[in-house]
Structure 1
Amino acid sequence: MRGISLISFALLCSPMAYAEKVPVKEIGDNFKIDGDKVTWPDGPFTGSLTCAGPDTSISLSADKKHGTCCPTGANLKGSANTEWHCCGKGHDVTGSKDVGFECCLEGSVFDGEKCKRAKKCPNGKVMIDGRCQCPDGQEEAEDGTCEPADCDSGLKTGKCYFFTGRSGNYLTYNALQYSETALSKYIRPGKFQFCRDEECTAGLPVNPSTEVYIKDLHGSLPTAKDAGQWLDNKKNGGHIGKTTDFSKAGEFSITKWPCGKYCLSGFTDGLTQACPDVSPGISLDTRATDSCIEFELMEVPCDIRADENNCIWKSGDQCCNKIDCCGKTGC
C-alpha cells in the first residue's frame, strides 16, 4: 500500500532505544494516524499498517512526509540532510556530517562526543553557521544591535534583467511589440535595464514609488540595429514597442511580489494585456490604474564581456536560492 508492505513496515518499526538513529519510510498523502497505526481510508488503496512491539507509536517528521515508530514519549526528529532519530521531548537532532549527529537538548550542539550548550549571542543576534548574526529580516546597526532591515526590492538602476511571464516565456520584442513569446532563431529575450534618467545613472534603488524607464539592450535579430532603445508609452490597447525618443519612453513602476516575483505597472497608469491574442502585447491602461503584470526577474550581465559579471551572484546562485513559498525547510 502506497509502496509500503506490512512486513517491511513491521520490521521497520521494531522497538527502539531512546535517541537511536532510525530508518524511515515515506508516508504519502491522505492518511490518518491513530496511536500505533497509520490508515489510508481512500482509494486507490485502503488499509492500515501497525507498529510492531509494545510501547511504540507512529511518529511523523516535521514536514509530514516521513514516518517511523518511536518509543512512547519520543518523536521523529531530523531530516534527509542530517539523520533521522527518535528523540525525547525537548530534544532535536544536531551535529554535522564531519562529527556525526545525535539528539541533544534544543539549543545545544553535538561536537562528536557530547552535547554542548550553544554560545549565547548578544544584542538580539542568533547563532547561524557558527557565527552570531542578526536574524532574517533584521540588520546590524552601528551600535551592534539588530534592527528591522529597510524594505528593499533588490533591484537597482543600471542593472539588467530577463523577464519571464506566467506563460513561462520571456518578454521579447518581435513584430513591433513586446510580448511573452517562445524563443526561436530570430527571437531572443529582451535584456531590460532600469533607469531613472536618460543617462541611466547606475546604483539607484528601484522601489514601487520610483518612476523608472526601461531600456532594452538587445536588438532584433539578425542585425540587432535597434538595440539600446526605450520601451515606449503606448496606452489603452496600443502595443508597447520601442522608441529612440526619451520623451516618448514609458513611465513604469515595479513592485516586489510574493514567491520571488515582481509586478510591472505604469507609474501613474496600470499595465494590462493589449488584446486576447495567443501572444498578447502589453499596454499602459489609464483606467485600471492599479493593474500590473507579473514577471519573474533574473539578473543578467549588461556587458557579457565584463569581468565583474563573476560577482553578480555573489550572495547566492539565483537559480538555486530563490525566494519561494515553501519556507526555509523546503517543499
Structure 2
Amino acid sequence: MRGLSLLGLTVLLQSHLTYGEPVNAREVGDKASIEGRKVTYQGEDGFWESFSCNPNGDTVMSLSSDKKYAACCPTGNTLQGSPDTEWHCCATGHELTGSEDVGFECCVKGSTFDGEECKRDKKKTCENGKVLIDGECQCPDGKEELEDGTCEAEAEGECESGVETGKCYFFTGRSGEHLSFNRNQYSEHAQSKYIRPGKFQFCLDEECKGGLPVDPSSKAYIKDLHGRLPAGGDAGQWVADQKNGAHIGKTPDFSKAGEFSITKWPCGKYCLTGFTEGLRQACPDGNPGITLDGRVPDSCIEFELTEVPCDIRAAENNCIWKNGDQCCNKLDCSNKA
C-alpha cells in the first residue's frame, strides 16, 4: 500500500493492526507538530493546516522519522516506511524490512523479512517434547523417552491443573527452547553463558502465598526468580504488562505486572494468555518476543511446564517428581497410525 499525498479533510486511518499491518499515511508540510490524535503543519501556501485520527478510536498520531508523513498508530508504535515501499506502524524495538518481491513487515531490529518470517541466525529446534541440552535434543528432567521418540511422564493423582502458587516452573515453547529473559524481553532462547531459562512462580497476589491451585479462571501474576547473568541483580521481578506489539519484559513494580491466565491442554501442554487480553507473538521473528493484545482475547501461546525447585538446596526437592504429570487418562500424543 503506497503512502497517500492528500490535504484537507479529517480522515479515519486504518487502526486494526497485527505485527504492524500497512496503514495509510498523509504527507505533511513544514514545522509539523503532534498533539494527541492531531497533527498541525504549515502548508506550501503558508496557511496552517491539520488533520486527526478518529477521536473515539484507539490510535494516536505518529510522524515518520523525517517528519514528512503522518499516520494513526497504536500507542507506543512509530510510523515507518516510505512512499516507495509501504507505511507500517511498528512496535518499540522493531523496524520495517523486506522488499517489493517478498513484501514488507515490522521485524525486530537486526532481522530481515523473507516473505514468511523475520530471519536471524538459524537455531536447532527439537520435537516430541524434547529440549536442546549441550547441542542434543533430549527429554527434560522428570520425563523419559519412549520407543517412538516422544517424552512422557507417569500419570499419577487426580485430574487438575497441576499448577500451584509458590511452585516454580520452566516454560518450554514449540521451538524446544525455554522461555528466557534476554535483551530486555522474554522469548524462547537457547541457553548460553549469559542466558538461562526463566524460573517462573505463579502468584495470586503480591504476597504470593503458596499451595493454592492456579485454574483458568484465576487472575495470576508471574514472578521470575532468575536474574540476568552474570550478576543476577534483577532476580525476583514480575513479568510485565506490555501490550500491542511491545515485547514483554520484567519489572520490580507489582502495579506494572501483567495479569495472566493458564489453561491445561493435552499431552502435558499449557496455554498461557492474559486474564482479559490475549497473548500472542510480538512479530514474525525466528526468536519472537511476546505481547498482550486486547483485540485477540482468545489468543494464547502453548508451553510445556516442568516443575523445578524454587530453592535448589532444599531437602524436599527429592519429592518433586512423585507428582508426575498429574493428569488422568492422558491422551496418547504419539504419531501412531
Question: Under a length normalisation based on structure 1, what TM-score does the superposition of the two structures give?
Answer: 0.52
CA deviation after TM superposition for structure 1 residue 198, in Å: 0.3
Aligned to 1:84: none
**CA displacement, residues 205-246 of structure 1 (integer Å, 9 cap, x when unaligned):** 100000000000000000000000000000010100000000
**CA displacement, residues 248-298 of structure 1 (integer Å, 9 cap, x when unaligned):** 000000000111100000000000001111211000011000000000000
Aligned to 2:286: 278
CA deviation after TM superposition for structure 1 residue 325, in Å: 2.0
Aligned to 1:170: 178
Aligned to 2:196: 188
What does 1:39-188 align with in structure 2 at a 5 Å threshold?
152-188=160-196
Decide whether aligned partners of structure 1 residues 326 and 169 sit closer, same or farther in structure 2, where only a CA change above 3 A counts.
Answer: closer
CA deviation after TM superposition for structure 1 residue 156, in Å: 0.4
Q: 1:227 aligns with which of 220, 224, 235?
A: 235
Quick check: 1:270–1:288 contact (8 Å CA) kept in 2?
yes
Greater relative contact order (CA < 8 Å, ≥ 6 in sequence) = 2
1:325 equivalent to 2:329? Answer no
Alpha-carbon distance in structure 1 between the residues aligned to 2:281 and 2:305: 19
**CA displacement, residues 91-114 of structure 1 (integer Å, 9 cap, x when unaligned):** xxxxxxxxxxxxxxxxxxxxxxxx
1:292 equivalent to 2:300? Answer yes
Quick check: 1:260–1:324 contact (8 Å CA) kept in 2?
no
Aligned to 1:130: none
Residue identity over aligned pairs, in percent, reads: 71
For 2:205, the aligned partner's letter is D
Alpha-carbon distance in structure 2 between the residues aligned to 1:155 and 1:325: 21
What does 1:309-324 align with in structure 2 at a 5 Å threshold?
309-316=317-324, 323=330
Moved over 4 A (4+): 321-324
Alpha-carbon distance in structure 2 between the residues aligned to 1:201 and 1:253: 17
1:236 equivalent to 2:244? Answer yes
CA deviation after TM superposition for structure 1 residue 315, in Å: 3.4
Q: Secondary structure at the match of 1:193?
A: strand
**CA displacement, residues 10-33 of structure 1 (integer Å, 9 cap, x when unaligned):** xxxxxxxxxxxxxxxxxxxxxxxx
Aligned to 2:216: 208
Q: Secondary structure at the match of 1:247?
A: helix
CA deviation after TM superposition for structure 1 residue 322, in Å: 11
Q: 2:275 aligns with which of 267, 272, 282?
A: 267
**CA displacement, residues 155-180 of structure 1 (integer Å, 9 cap, x when unaligned):** 10000000000011100000000000
For 2:264, the aligned partner's letter is K
Decide whether aligned partners of structure 1 residues 160 and 322 sit closer, same or farther in structure 2, where only a CA change above 3 A counts.
Answer: farther
For 1:286, the aligned partner's letter is G
Decide whether aligned partners of structure 1 residues 226 and 323 sit closer, same or farther in structure 2, where only a CA change above 3 A counts.
Answer: farther
Alpha-carbon distance in structure 2 between the residues aligned to 1:294 and 1:282: 12
Q: Secondary structure at the match of 1:272?
A: strand
Structure number with larger C-alpha Rg: 1
Alpha-carbon distance in structure 1 between the residues aligned to 2:227 and 2:179: 13
For 1:275, the aligned partner's letter is C
Decide whether aligned partners of structure 1 residues 326 and 252 sit closer, same or farther in structure 2, where only a CA change above 3 A counts.
Answer: closer
What does 1:245-260 align with in structure 2 at a 5 Å threshold?
245-260=253-268
Aligned length: 181
Alpha-carbon distance in structure 2 between the residues aligned to 1:308 and 1:292: 33
CA deviation after TM superposition for structure 1 residue 183, in Å: 1.1
Quick check: 1:270–1:284 contact (8 Å CA) kept in 2?
yes
Alpha-carbon distance in structure 1 between the residues aligned to 2:183 and 2:281: 16
Decide whether aligned partners of structure 1 residues 221 and 235 sit closer, same or farther in structure 2, where only a CA change above 3 A counts.
Answer: same
**CA displacement, residues 124-172 of structure 1 (integer Å, 9 cap, x when unaligned):** xxxxxxxxxxxx99x9xxxxxxxxx6x5101100000000000111000
Decide whether aligned partners of structure 1 residues 322 and 186 sit closer, same or farther in structure 2, where only a CA change above 3 A counts.
Answer: farther
Gaps of 5+ in 2: 1-154
